[in-house]
Amino acid sequence: MVFRCFELYEHKGKLSAVNRGGKPAHGLPGYTSCTEIEDPVDAAFIYVPAEGVLGALEDAAAAGIRNAVILSSGFAEAGKEGAAMQEEVVRAARDLGIRFMGPNSMGFANLAHGSAMTSVKTRLPCRHGRLALISQSGALLNEMGKIAHLSGIGLAFTGATGNEASMSITDLLEYLVDDDSVGAICIYSEGIRDHGRFMAAAMRAKELNKPIVLLKLGRSEISGAIAQAHTGSLIGDDGVFDAMCRQTGIIRVSSLEEAVTTADLLGKIGPIAPARIAMCSISGGACALFADLSDEYGVEVVQYTQETKDALRAVLPSFASTLNPLDTTGALVQHPEIWHEVIPILARDANTGLVIVSQPIPNTDAERLTLSSTIEAIVAGFRAANKPAVIVDFSVQTRSSEQIAFIKEAGVDVPVQGLDIAVRALAHLQRWSERVSRPAIAQDLPAPCGEHPVGERETLQYLSSRGAPVIPARLVATADEAAQFAEELGGRAAYKIASPDIAHKTEANGVRLDIAPGDAKETFASIVAAASAYDPSARVEGVLIAPMRDAGTEMIVGVTRDPEWGLAITVGTGGVLTEILEDSETRLLPIDEAHARDMVLSLKGAKLLQGFRGSEPADLDALCKAIVAIGDAAAALGPDIAALEVNPLRVSGAQVEALDALAIYAA
Amino acid sequence: MVFRCFELYEHKGKLSAVNRGGKPAHGLPGYTSCTEIEDPVDAAFIYVPAEGVLGALEDAAAAGIRNAVILSSGFAEAGKEGAAMQEEVVRAARDLGIRFMGPNSMGFANLAHGSAMTSVKTRLPCRHGRLALISQSGALLNEMGKIAHLSGIGLAFTGATGNEASMSITDLLEYLVDDDSVGAICIYSEGIRDHGRFMAAAMRAKELNKPIVLLKLGRSEISGAIAQAHTGSLIGDDGVFDAMCRQTGIIRVSSLEEAVTTADLLGKIGPIAPARIAMCSISGGACALFADLSDEYGVEVVQYTQETKDALRAVLPSFASTLNPLDTTGALVQHPEIWHEVIPILARDANTGLVIVSQPIPNTDAERLTLSSTIEAIVAGFRAANKPAVIVDFSVQTRSSEQIAFIKEAGVDVPVQGLDIAVRALAHLQRWSERVSRPAIAQDLPAPCGEHPVGERETLQYLSSRGAPVIPARLVATADEAAQFAEELGGRAAYKIASPDIAHKTEANGVRLDIAPGDAKETFASIVAAASAYDPSARVEGVLIAPMRDAGTEMIVGVTRDPEWGLAITVGTGGVLTEILEDSETRLLPIDEAHARDMVLSLKGAKLLQGFRGSEPADLDALCKAIVAIGDAAAALGPDIAALEVNPLRVSGAQVEALDALAIYAA
């Protein structure tokens, strides 16, 4: 069964069969050892029982083989004993200088270059193309291959890495990013290994405009638990992972069909500019469905210029509208030649990046008879258009080989399967087109500054010293100092006891709000007295005085260190809204002001900052500068910093101030 | 081409061909008029050019025919002239006593009863089953039929109503709800006609547990505009339409694949109780994918009891987990007999309503060889289970006739197509199961009470008289009255000028907050004086005094009249959150307290009411009583009431009070 795959995938290299008895197999010469094979051997394809793998590796190494695929299962995926056996194999391979895919892998098929060591049975006929499918799970790789086949999408590469004891998805990704035969990469993963290399490969793909579409588990808690049980993969913090994807241009999807369709579409079209869609169909129903789905999945459609509308009016029936999506009306069934003009008109609009024609593709002889003049007219329209254009079928339909031949003869790419998946893929195309044009991260992380602030006061001081705006609070040790600082501030102020031994300041009666400068001395004395009364043994450092502020808008800015992807910064809506909105945006550090602005404007709570209900609009430049400064300040604390949180960062018009902050270090 | 459909759909009735020349056609006897046909005729199937439709109708009527399907296009869908011609046809048909589908309809095929007058070319072989597909758009009906065919789903009925000049989707729905051959109804609609009858039919379907799945356009603004241009359908307020669906058990979906798959699944399974899912697969990847998709689409999975976990441990390999979704591990490929035990164990759990086994279905001979023992073992497990169980394929795949035969021989229903669509359908199954068990509306609307309150004060008084809790405010005309009422209230109070000529009370310096009872007279005088100074010609009715309240949680309760579906009540989170959360729930009136509780708990802002951040939890009973009372009070204002809004309805612990209210009447 496995052997048949060499044929299915049109493997071109020489094959030899090695087995205990040295018997010929599948028409190949048989050997008892790799060392007996006359020619040098590139790779060993091992599918012996688990117990025999170690011996097979040793034999391969003796013949100078440095690469292997281990199909055999019964290792880490099958409990403790298997895991121990796997460790043995890993150690042996390292000593023998062999790198391998597996164990419990289904191998790879490099269709573009005619080599295959795989047990994934692709559907026939094998369709060649530019899409690469890679997966940890063999079952889901097989499924993605079936989807591609059903949709008429051709493949350049497939591979299932299995237990990833030696080679991982990252190794395959590195290879595929640099292989010109590959136009797009579709990944199913339960957890990424080799994070630095993975990110570097993704950034290289971004530079090459080569899309990476990733179906990664772990969005839900329970899937994380299953994946841990399943392959022992570590599922990282999902928000940070999403940030990594966004910044490196990786498109994350949630279903197998979406993964394959999106990768194929992005690979074929490339980034579009402007990233907006013009859509049309002879079915008003399909247009309206497209509009509703666009709304649901966040696809931005073109608003046509007056020029475009006038041009459309000149070629369409009088009762047709000039909306986008555009219902070209059933009149085009009788007059398909109108397509020659409609499509170039839509493409010519300066706001259009891509033209979509939604049209069922003939699948039976009868349909072909009815529809071929329409398809031909649409293709002619595509040829006359100055922007990319794609046909989208109404629903997911089987693509028979005859149908694919018909379509290709007509001169178009295989249409996207179904409005629902197509609109999801278009939403990804838009986001990807926008993201590949932006730098992933701002610059290098700042060098460690050697400081180590502890507690609210030191952290605020440190932030201030690094250029982050901080409320002008001061610790005063005497009533006179209090009076002097109160005078400096001018307005009303808040007073708080400063003592390492008093955690609950309010309970200790250690807080006074809205105090006039003239009452400074009295207030200082009263707070210190109250603290002594509350806990006579408490060390009192003094009183912290800060100017009174109205509520403004409260934001939260937090920097955390992800064990996999490094330092990340999160900006969220603070105050009473935090828990209700669950509103935050995360990016990997370092960021620049453009990243910060993108984060802030992506928040639901952004409305609060934009002159909500007549309040003064926040100074977004000042806010973004503050966010960047906080991120850089946290990073400059060096490798020990685990988290730094500013909560709240108060924003009121042009005034942006950290009111409270805390740094936490790795133990 | 059209004629071939009689054969494709196995039409059993007698056919006669009527045409100008009276020539035989398609092997049928030919007549120049319906009146010449010897036997009585049930229906006329008219596909002549638009200009000939009127004559054909007259001829049919002369032969005593009372029903027709008009396939001919070129009517309202093709501009003004066509619309005029359609009106003529409608008038003539009314005079002739003929009801008809169309024009521009693709007719219907009643597969269950062997009659067909249609031009929808179903894919072959025609698969009989219990699903009914109805649509305004012929193109999309055709597409839904193709999806059903691809998925191996059998049909009982298909119909496309076209321009709906005489018969509408509602007419078909009424028929299908009462036809026992039909197990589920799937509708594509651009706008419902005959709203009262539609709702009544939906409620009857709900009582029969017969699912109605509806793909209705108009969720987005642009799709509404297209549908208006397309068929002239009126797209109603979407929130009210959603409320109607929720209350009548209609499941609303957003794609063609989702529509067909969901209708079929709900029809086959029926409502489940408890409405929770147990899922398992030999692929850990499929389990984790299912978990992530469940999270995304809101599917609730079972938490297994300890008993279930123990039972699973006894039959599964030692390294397997007992999570839900359950990764049964690859060991079941070698030992499929474990399925016999696993499935009944999952079904037996008291929390399980449905068992899902995700498993690729063999499609090629090779796959059939590998997988048939697994499929057989799963089917044996299904037979031994005491709850419904369904197989879900990993992805959307073609169902060939051979494959369907194989599956049916194995003794299972055709599996659901693909994890993504399946999880969406399961989310609908859960919601539907919950909804069909609840009464649609509470009781009858209250009878009109003859009152007609105008303005804030009268409306609040009216609400109070109908049992809705209202802040105890009073209009006082003199300083003495003010003092007396302030004394009655006891605590601090708010004072507002009451004048029909002063709209902006604050601008007129006509508002005083937080006034002690002793300052009542002075405050009254000051407000009246300020009002006179602001506008000497303003009529002053007095001063409105109300007790001061802290913010509490502000809600909005609004009743509106929808032109299509009648009175609806909306509850939303009020105050500063309104615009940011865009948080509201709508139901058709009347509602009871259970409906009100469901609305309140469905709000994102519900957290604010449930003891958020240490505040006192709101008295939900009191809040729900108030909501019901407001709805009933609005309805009792009779047919002229257009809207009544309470904003804010203040909630603070056990205290629920309308602070402001306004009624608006139809002009």
pLDDT of residue A51: 94
Which residues in chain A come in under a pLDDT of 70? 227-237, 441-442, 612-614
**How far apart are the CA of A217 and the nearest CA of chain B, in angstroms?**
6
- Determine the distance in angstroms separating the CA of A363 from the nearest CA of chain B, rounded to an integer: 9
Chosen from A151, A255, A299 to mutate, greatest number of chain B CBs within 10 A: A255
If one compares B570 and A237, the residue with the highest pLDDT of the two is: B570
Mean pLDDT of chain B: 91
| C-alpha atoms less than 13 angstroms from C-alpha of A334 in its C-beta half-sphere | 8
Q: Within a domain: residue A450? A: no
Residue B283 Cα distances to A141, B323, B347, B376, B393, angstroms: 12, 14, 20, 18, 12
Taking alpha carbons only, the member of B214, B223, B222, B215 closest to residue B249 is B214
Does the residue A451 lie in any domain? no
Are A248 and A566 a contacting pair, CB within 8 Å? no
Q: Is residue A452 part of a domain?
A: no
Joined tokens for residue B164: 């709906």
Beta-carbon count within 10 A of A563 CB: 10
| Residue A653, domain member (yes or no) | yes
Out of A219, A394, A579, closest to residue B607 by CB: A579
Let me know whether B574 and B517 are in one domain: no
pLDDT at A236: 54
What value of ipTM does the predicted structure carry?
0.90
Does A429 lie in the same domain as A303?
A: yes
Which is more confidently placed, A371 or B601? B601
Q: How confident is the model at residue B465 (pLDDT cuts 50, 70, 90)?
A: very high
By the 8 A CB rule, do A112 and A158 touch?
no
Higher pLDDT, B341 or A614: B341
- Around A301, how many Cα atoms within 13 Å sit in the side-chain half-sphere? 27
Q: Tell me how far apart the terminal alpha carbons of chain A are, to the nearest angstrom.
A: 54
Q: Cα angle at B161 between B213 and B65, to 5 degrees?
A: 130
User: What is the extent of the structural domain holding A565?
Assistant: 553-665
CB atoms under 10 Å from CB of B221, counted, come to 12
Give the integer Cα–Cα distance in Å for B429 and B264.
11
Instruction: Based on the fold, state whether residues B362 and B220 are members of the same structural domain.
Output: no
Q: Which of A73, A282, A612 sits opposite B330 (nearest CB)?
A: A73
Residues B381 and B410 in one domain: yes
Last residue of a domain, one of A436, A451, A484: A436
Distance CA A254, CA B419 (A): 10
CB of B217 less than 8 A from some CB of A: yes
CB-side exposure of B86: number of CA atoms within 13 Å? 26
Is A11 part of any domain?
A: yes
Of the residues B547, B578, B608, which one is the last residue of a structural domain?
B547
Separation between Cα atoms, residue B293 and residue B275, nearest integer Å: 17
For the segment B246-252, the average pLDDT, to the nearest whole number, is 94
pLDDT, position B233 = 53
Give the CATH number for residue A633.
Answer: 3.30.470.20
Q: Are residues B570 and B523 in the same domain?
A: no
Tokens representing B125? 């072989």
| Nearest-angstrom CA–CA distance, B131 and B113 | 13
Alpha carbon A121 to its chain centroid, in Å, reads 30
What is the rounded distance in angstroms from the CA atom of residue B7 to the CA atom of residue A351? 49
Q: Which CATH number does the domain housing residue A485 bear?
A: 3.30.1490.20
Pairing of strands B251-252, B212-216: parallel
Question: How high is the pLDDT of residue A365?
Answer: 76
Name the pTM for this structure.
0.91
pLDDT of residue B504: 81
Q: Which residue has the higher pLDDT, B47 or B364?
A: B47
User: Residue A116: beta bridge partners?
Assistant: A109
Tokens read off for A418:
């179904």
Q: Scan for tokens 């010897």, then name that residue.
A: B38
Residues B306 and B352 in one domain: yes
Of the listed ranges A356-370, B180-194, B490-504, the one predicted with least confidence: A356-370
The A residues from 16 to 45 touching B (CB cutoff 8 Å) are none
Distance CA A478, CA B380 (A): 84
Residue B509 and residue B530 in contact, taking contact as beta carbons nearer than 8 Å: yes
Task: Please give the pLDDT value at position B3.
Answer: 87
Specify if B463 maps to a domain.
Answer: no
Query: Which has more confidence, B121 or B153?
Result: B153
The string of DSSP letters for A491-535 reads S-EEEEEE-TT-S-TTTTT-EEEEE-GGGHHHHHHHHHHHHHHH-
Helix (H) or strand (E) holding B371: helix B365-383
Whether residue A289 contacts residue A218, with contact meaning beta carbons closer than 8 Å, is answered with no
CB proximity under 8 Å: A 396-435 to B: 396-398, 418-420
Distances (CA, A) of A647 to A235, A558, B368: 28, 8, 60
Is A620 near chain B, with CB under 8 Å?
Answer: no
Q: Which of B492, B515, B547 is the last residue of a domain?
A: B547
SS3 category, A342: helix
Are both B232 and B289 inside the same structural domain?
Answer: no
Left (φ > 0), alpha (ψ -120 to 50) or beta: where does A106 sit?
Answer: alpha
Nearest to B466 by CA among B475, B453, B456: B453
Judge if the upstream peptide bond of residue B274 is cis by omega within 30 degrees of 0.
Answer: yes
Q: What is the per-residue pLDDT for A229?
A: 63
Spell out the alpha helix ranges (H) of B74-153: 80-96, 138-151
Q: A285: closest CA among B167, B162, B261, B85? A: B162
- Decide if B139 and A287 are in contact by the 8 Å CB cutoff: no
Nearest to A277 by CA among A295, A259, A260: A295
Q: Are residues A392 and A333 in the same domain?
A: yes
**Same domain, yes or no, for A530 and A613?**
no
Q: Specify the CATH number for the domain of residue B356.
A: 3.40.50.261
Structure letter (DSSP) for residue A220: S
User: How many whole angstroms from its chain centre is CA A67?
Assistant: 31
Residue A360, Ramachandran bin (φ over 0: left; ψ between -120 and 50: alpha; else beta): beta
Residue B453 lies in a domain: no
- Both A322 and A429 in one domain: the answer is yes
Whether cis (ω within 30° of 0) applies to the bond prior to A274 is yes
State both tokens at A183: 């136009």
CA distance A536 to B499: 61
Say how far apart CA A132 and CA A184 lie, in whole Å: 6
What is the reported pLDDT for B325? 95
Chain B residues touching A604 at Cβ < 8 A: 580
Q: What is the pLDDT of residues B518-539, one digit of tens each?
A: 999 999 999 999 999 999 999 9
Q: Does any domain span residue B129?
A: yes
Which pLDDT does position B613 carry in this prediction?
65
Say yes or no: A510 and A566 in one domain: no
Give chain A's domain count.
Answer: 4
Give B608 to chain A, closest Cα distance, Å: 8
Q: B506 and B476: one domain?
A: yes
